[in-house]
Amino acid sequence: MKTANFIANGRTLKGELRKDGLLHDAAGETHNPDDVQFLLPLKPGKVIALALNYGDHVKELGFSAPPEPVMFLKPNTSLLPHRGTVIYPRGAKYMHYECELGIVIGRDARRVKAKDAEDYVGGYTIANDLVVRDYVSNYYRPPMRAKGWDTFGPMGPYLVTADEIPDPYNLGIRSYVNGELRQEGNTSDMIRRAPELIEFMSRFMTLEAGDVILTGTPEGVSHVHPGDVMRMEIDGLGALENPVALEDESAEPLIAEEGERK
């Protein structure tokens, strides 16, 4: 099942996207996805993101594969629905997208073994883990200032239940900017998959129903600018699209000092 939360005719609704291409709400009414205002497909408890989880992206950045998962928390204030506007920070020199498969936890998990971990996956969604590369350095880790800006976590438009995706590790990933294909990869290139990640994380913290794990991005990141439109696609999950706009003129630029860049 592929569900979405949205606003139509002044009402906040939840609907299922069916084969006719329409959203069907609980009352049986249908809605054209092009005519609704999308909300986040779920309200996550916490969002745990992975860095350096695709071999080709690791090479692209000039690193070696880490010996264990590299994790950070994505603030809930960064989350943004489909078609919401991403704000480009004033003073930033290099901001880029990261199209990622989001794993949605279906029930609470603590000390779960990898062999049982798939039973705790409730579904999947698309995420765009935006980052200002200016603020990423070996010293300032985890990269909270780089990735934690408001609007830097677009997610959606749909929550797709696990039964709809028989093989989540063979899904094509594509990123477009203004209609130009910039990034193309496949979830088969993940270094660590859901079972290993859930086992690792649930050793030291409880994963709760509704938590989301962002599983990293393949190679092909590139600069986006104010005025651009990003479109993230993952096979079977749909497409997440967001425009980019420059931060308000009244905002004071937050620029890394030269001594901070390592």
DSSP letters for 133-172: GGG--SSS-S-HHHH-STT-EEEEEEEEEGGG-S-TTS-E
Cα–Cα distance measured from residue 209 to residue 157, given in angstroms and rounded to the nearest whole number? 19
Look up the pTM and report it: 0.93
How deeply is 195 buried, as exposed, middle or buried, from its count of CB atoms within 10 A (0-12, 13-18, 19+)? middle
Contact 15, 31 (CB under 8 A): yes
Report whether pLDDT(259) > 80: no
Residue 173 token pair: 């990933």
Report whether pLDDT(254) > 80: no
Q: How many degrees, rounded to 5, is the angle at CA 166 between CA 164 and CA 168?
A: 100
Report whether pLDDT(139) > 70: no
- At 138, the pLDDT band (50, 70, 90 cuts) reads low
Cα–Cα distance measured from residue 39 to residue 35, given in angstroms and rounded to the nearest whole number? 13
Report whether pLDDT(261) > 50: no
Tell me which DSSP letter residue 180 carries.
E
For residues 81 and 58, the model is more confident at 81
| Mean pLDDT score, 136-154 | 82
How deeply is 47 buried, as exposed, middle or buried, from its count of CB atoms within 10 A (0-12, 13-18, 19+)? buried
Any bridge partners for residue 67, and if so which?
none
pLDDT digits (tens, 9 = 90+) for 192-228: 999 999 999 999 999 999 999 999 999 999 999 999 9
| Mean pLDDT score, 18-23 | 97
Q: Find the range with the poorest average confidence among 22-36, 107-121, 241-255.
A: 241-255
Helix, coil or strand: residue 60? helix
pLDDT score of 262: 32
Domains and CATH numbers, the chain: 1-38 (2.30.30.370), 40-248 (3.90.850.10)
- At 260, the pLDDT band (50, 70, 90 cuts) reads very low
Cα–Cα distance measured from residue 33 to residue 219, given in angstroms and rounded to the nearest whole number? 30
Residue 217 token pair: 């991005």
